[in-house]
Structure 1
Amino acid sequence: MIDRVNSDTTRTSTILRPRRLALLGTVAALGVAVLAASPVSTPFGVSSLISPAQAAESAATPQGFGDLVSKVKPAVISVRVKIDQDNDKSAMLQQNRMDQDEESPFDQFSRQFGFRGPGGMNGMPHQRHQMVTGEGSGFFISADGYAVTNNHVVDHAQSVQVTMDDGTIYTAKVVGTDPKTDLALIKVDGNKDFPFVKFSDQKPRIGDWVVAVGNPFGLGGTVTAGIVSASGRDIGNGPYDDFIQIDAPINKGNSGGPAFDMNGNVIGVNTAIYSPSGGSVGIGFDIPASTAKLVVAQLKDKGAVTRGWLGVQVQPVTAEIADSLGLKAARGAIVDNPQDGSPAAKAGIEAGDVITAVNGTAIKDSRDLARTIATLAPGTSVKLDVVHKGDSKTVTLALGELPNERQAKAGNQSDDGKTQQTAGTPRLGLSLAPSGEVQGAGQKGVVVTEVDPQGPAAQRGIQTGDVILNVGGKAVSNVAEVRSELAQAKSSGKNSVLLQVKSAEATRFVAVPLA
């Protein structure tokens, strides 16, 4: 069947070729104006007119990427690393083991490096202290030899070598890495001005052309083209996910390489792919240039990245949470718990508050809040727009510094996630008891002693042992208070009620529909 289709396609092309050549000849001889006024016979016999705007757009469409590639390709490098395989902390080796245990379609490129040491590809046992090699990509951002790649490409590398487009090999050193965004800055010392490229100052539009250059499968200097498919992608890679999705084919070894716009500026750093098969299926993810610029600047200046710290655990505001709080739209981030001693706690931010804007810029959800705060330096004074118990107010505070062991907690579970949840009357399918009467439940709130698997609470993930601390914005300590708050919420015309629930994992808010 494939051969037949190819044959048919060839014959069709042969039939259409004289007609296409004639049309091109008409354009060359008479110009666009005459063509725009003349009917054009299509291969299907349907007459149509080409407008001047369409003709101009067609003329502006790039006929190829040769000029662009010749301009930017010399700045792209292949990155080769050596790692002691006995180092169990090696990110690349950990990722390789994960490939054997997991079948997640989201593959970090570090899982896809072609390991060339024993056991890297053939599955044979490694010998202790055997050095293995891996390959990725990168690109120069300055004439004095600074280059960008991925953190997982050089993480725990014993040595780093880069190969330029002309085949010249240099030794590089790692200046700094940022695991949270998977970026790294390396430095090549040489006695020449290195070709380099710049980050784009503009966010690419969905549908814009994009050209990727890198070192897939160790081949080096490979160019692919496509379009920007989507933006703002969260693939669960880290707390600050905001990836650009592209369909330019990128494969094993492209990790850390650049994606260019038509002006030759870097719009993103190739980092991950969606790949059930392990190869390109046209879905790749890039770290945006806006993020890379901020991170690289800090790595160059300090060798590490410091981020602002607000000190809150937050979750998205769902439609049900918005309804229960009387909000007009399901936007912003609701505070589950301000951490003791954090800037937020000192400024009076409380559990149940909804942060809707930072410095006047609206916050979409909890992840947007985490990304926004992370771009600000410790000590920065910020203004937060907050909805507190139905009233809007502005809180001004100075950000702290995000400790290395902490990560911004931007919950992305929906309300039916299996964590803590809601309150109890027969309408919700819960049996409750004061926490003080149940050993180990503490002294605050009411504890869930039984859950009807068919009830609204069970559908929202409420489990036996969860403790309900707050119903509709008011603390509760017995079943009567829970019923009272539920009845008040119902009489107020609300379709759901917001509960603050504590489980073994954490404390968070859950909106439960009122039956």
Structure 2
Amino acid sequence: MPKEKSPSLYRKSLIAVAMTSALAGAVLANGPLSAVVSAYADPVSVDAPAQPGFADVVAKVSPAVVSVRVNSDVRPASDPSDQGQGFFSGPGFDQLPDDHPLKRFFREFGGEGGQWGRPGSKQKRGENRPGRERPVAQGSGFFISEDGYLVTNNHVVSDGDAYTVVLDDGTELDAKLVGTDPRTDLAVLKVNDPKRKFTYVAFGDDNKIRVGDWVVAVGNPFGLGGTVTAGIVSARGRDIGAGPYDDFIQIDAAVNRGNSGGPAFNQQGQVIGINTAIFSPSGGSVGIAFAIPASTAKQVVDQIIKTGSVQRGWIGVQIQPVTKEIAESLGLSEAKGAIVASPQDGGPAAKAGIEAGDVITAVNGETVDDSRDLARKVAAIAPGQKAELTVWRKNKAMTINVEITSMPKNVEQANTEKPAQPGKPESLDSYGLTVVPSDDGKGVVVTDVDPDSDAADKGIRSGDTIVSVNNKPVKGVGDINAAIADAAKSGRSAVLLQLQSNDQSRFVALPIAKG
């Protein structure tokens, strides 16, 4: 039988029930329970310092950045590699209904299927849509003056006959081509509108930027219009094989087709580079983009605006980089400078006394880092001026004055195959080479190369002619062996061979065989 509650416990129970009933009445009368008692803790909130953004920079520079539309009476058939075309091309696109929005979009801006047709052909005006010019490219650009001069890439405008500039607010204006420079992939357009004063940006000093600095890219990717991306400077001085003046800034801001010609800004709103190429196995951004340095662009753009073209200094030499092995074979303390493979007959360098095998280490007192650096330094000197070249020859430095001339429009280079040379084969067993005397008595011709030898690793091939060793002329194998012996006595670990092939000269440093 259960125990009965004591009177005191009973009274406490009644009081508790009464209080609960009163609380319930208060809730019903006054609103939710939270109005009386807080049921939850405060939400999570982090009091962190504000991170700097790019909104202020973007707001200032965006009106100066434009989209560039290029039209032509003749349309390239192949899909341009970086001109904003082929946006969504792929399997199944041509199976879309004719009234599908994407298909209408590409009829207007990219051609059927986002492709121009078959490589190697050209489609003339009127074959598909009679009576109008065809768009051949879309890219980006930016104003550099109040009166309407703007910069873009040469490869954006190269196939065009008519150019339209689309401003940040959507206004479309016609532009004329002022001039181009294919060697640096730069072009200048001009919008003639006397009633307008355009917002413009200035070139910054790209020499002050460091790897890791922030950059902001603004452009027209995939024809979408003004788009902003940000990243950092990933590397400097990149050589991507685009030309003799390669000196690209690598950035990881997202750059895609259509961004070509668009600016890369520093945090002060200055242009430190012009986006020109991407590395991508897929065609889209993978975080590796290349920009033309502002210092290069400014020189080229100024010349184009003043004269409509670009004149570069030229001395007429075929050059190659100085590798560690070449430096060792010549007694240089470091692998810097550019070695002259051959001076062009009648050129400024040849007239001044520059010889094959000379290493140009400085121009007007400025150190030459490599062959590309020499090309840029000489190109920057106005034709008609003299340049003082510091040259390393026969274990000592000397100075040679060269008169700079204009680079010829077409520098012809012969490409004639040399016939097989008769003569008695001789072997350089330690180097895996078999040679015969050349028929003109200048050098020996390589007839066989052991594929497992150092010579093969260095790129020596059958048909190459060895014309000198350590800058000493070669007439036979005896001359080669004597030069190698002299180098070994001097404590060098390599000898420098001058090779000629197809009328082109180059140098190869070959390790001295031990034993």
Q: Summarize deviations over 1:64-112 as a string: whole Å, max 9, x none.
A: 21111111100111100112335xxx6xx5663xxxxxxxxxxx52375
Per mean C-alpha deviation after superposition, the further-off stretch among 335-344 and 464-473 is 464-473
Q: Residues 120 and 132 of structure 1 are in contact (CA less than 8 Å); yes or no, is this contact kept in structure 2? A: no
Specify the alignment match of 1:416 in structure 2. none
Q: 1:363 maps to which residue? A: 368
Between the aligned partners of 1:460 and 1:111, the Cα distance in structure 2 is 41
Distance 2:502 2:368 in 1: 29
Distance in 2 separating the partners of 1:194 and 1:160: 17
Aligned to 1:129: 125
Partner of residue 195, structure 1: 199
Residue in structure 2 matching 1:488, options 486, 489, 495: 486
State the shift of 1:258 in Å.
0.8
For residue 109 of structure 1, give the secondary structure of its aligned residue in structure 2.
Answer: coil
Residues in 1 aligned to 2:485 and 2:225: alpha-carbon distance in whole angstroms: 68
Asked whether 1:156 is paired with 2:145, we answer no
> Among 83, 92, 96, which residue is 1:110 paired with?
83
Kindly tell me: are residues 123 and 394 of structure 1, through their superposed partners in 2, closer, same or farther at Cα, counting changes over 3 Å?
closer
Q: Distance in 1 between matches of 2:217 and 2:173?
A: 23
Whether the 8 Å contact between 1:143 and 1:196 is mirrored in structure 2 is: yes
Do the aligned residues in 2 keep the contact of 1:140 with 1:194 (CA within 8 Å)? Answer: yes
How far 1:327 moved relative to its partner?
0.9
Percent identity between matched residues is: 56
User: Does residue 246 in structure 1 map to residue 272 in structure 2?
Assistant: no
1:459 Cα deviation from its structure 2 partner: 2.1
Give distance in 2, aligned partners of 1:305 and 1:16.
Answer: 67
Do the aligned partners of 2:125 and 2:134 also contact (CA within 8 Å) in 1? no
Q: 1:268 aligns with which of 257, 268, 273?
A: 273
Decide which of 463, 466, 485 is 1:465's aligned counterpart.
463
Stretch of structure 1 that moved more, 364-373 or 201-210? 201-210
Distance in 1 separating the partners of 2:84 and 2:172: 25
The structure number with the bigger radius of gyration is 2
1:180 equivalent to 2:183? Answer: yes
Q: 49, 53, 69: which is aligned to 1:80?
A: 69
| SS class of match (1:464) | coil
Q: Distance in 2 between matches of 1:407 and 1:244?
A: 31
Which of 185, 207, 211 does residue 212 from structure 2 map onto?
207
Residues 424 and 483 of structure 1 are in contact (CA less than 8 Å); yes or no, is this contact kept in structure 2?
Answer: no
Residue 478 of structure 1 and its aligned partner are, at CA, apart by 1.6
CA contact (8 A) 1:95 1:111 kept: no
1:436-486: CA deviation from partner (whole Å, max 9, x where unpaired):
2xxxxx331112233222222222222222211101221011222222112
The Cα RMSD (Å) is 2.3
Distance in 2 (alpha carbons) for counterparts of 1:95 and 1:332? 40
Structure 1 residue 150: Cα displacement? 0.5
Residue 122 and residue 315 in structure 1: after superposition, are their counterparts in 2 closer, same or farther (change >3 A)?
A: closer
Determine helix, strand or coil for the equivalent of 2:459. Answer: coil
Preserved CA contact (<8 Å) 2:362 2:390: yes
Query: Equivalent residue of 1:110, what SS?
Result: coil
Question: Hey, what's the Cα distance between the residues in 1 that align with 2:110 and 2:259?
Answer: 20
Map 1:418-437; keep pairs closer than 5 Å.
Answer: 425-436=428-439
Structure 2 vs 1, CA of residues 202 and 447 (structure 1 numbering), >3 Å: closer, same or farther?
closer
CA distance in 1, matches of 2:404, 2:43: 66
Residue-pair matches, total: 429
- The answer for the alignment partner of 1:44 in structure 2 is none
CA contact (8 A) 1:239 1:407 kept: no
1:424–1:482 Cα contact (<8 Å) kept: no
2-side partners of 1:318 and 1:120: how far apart? 48
CA distance in 2 between counterparts of 1:430 and 1:258 reads 52
- One-letter amino acid of the structure 2 residue matched with residue 110 of structure 1: Q
Q: Deviations over 1:327-368 (max 9, x none)?
A: 111111000000011111111000000000111111111111
- Give the counterpart letter for 2:331 in structure 1: G
Q: Could you say what secondary structure the match of 1:427 adopts?
A: helix
1 CA distance for matches of 2:404 and 2:112?
Answer: 47
Q: Please name the residue that 1:456 is paired with.
A: 454
> Could you give the per-residue CA deviations for residues 195-214 of structure 1, whole angstroms, max 9, x where no partner exists?
11111135221111111111
Distance 1:392 1:95 in 2: 52
Give the C-alpha shift of residue 507 in structure 1: 1.2
Q: Indicate yes or no: 2:46 matched with 1:20.
A: yes
In structure 2, how many angstroms separate the alpha carbons of the residues matched to 1:278 and 1:17?
45
Name the counterpart of 1:165.
168
- Matches of 1:120 and 1:335, distance apart in 2: 50
> Bigger shift: 123-132 or 164-173?
123-132
> Does structure 1 residue 352 correspond to structure 2 residue 357?
yes
CA-to-partner distance for each residue in 1:393-432, whole Å, 9 max, x for gaps? 0111211101122399xxxxxxxxxxxxxx9622111122
Secondary structure in structure 2 of the residue aligned to 1:238? coil
Contact 2:222 2:256 in 1 (8 A): yes
For 2:82 and 2:65, how far apart are their aligned partners in 1? 17
CA distances 1:275-333 after superposition (whole Å, capped 9, x unpaired): 11111111111111101100000000000000000110000111111111111111110
Worse-superposed segment, 454-463 or 391-400: 454-463
Q: Cα distance 1:117–1:254, how it changes in 2: closer, same or farther (>3 A)?
A: closer
**AA partner of residue 83 (structure 1):** S
- Alignment match of 2:402 (pick from 386, 397, 404): 397
The 3 A distance-change label for structure 1 pair 177 and 326 is: same
- What are structure 2's unaligned runs of at least 5 residues? 1-40, 88-105, 127-132, 414-425
The CA distance in 2 between the partners of 1:425 and 1:255, in whole Å, is 52
Q: Residue 144 of structure 2 aligns with which residue?
A: 141
Contact 2:84 2:222 in 1 (8 A): no
> Is residue 274–residue 284 contact of structure 1 (8 Å, CA) maintained in 2?
yes
Distance in 2 (CA, whole Å) between partners of 1:16 and 1:243 is 52
Structure 1, unaligned runs of 5 or more? 1-14, 25-57, 97-107, 409-422, 437-441
TM-score, normalized by length of structure 1?
Answer: 0.79
Output the TM-score relative to the length of structure 2: 0.79
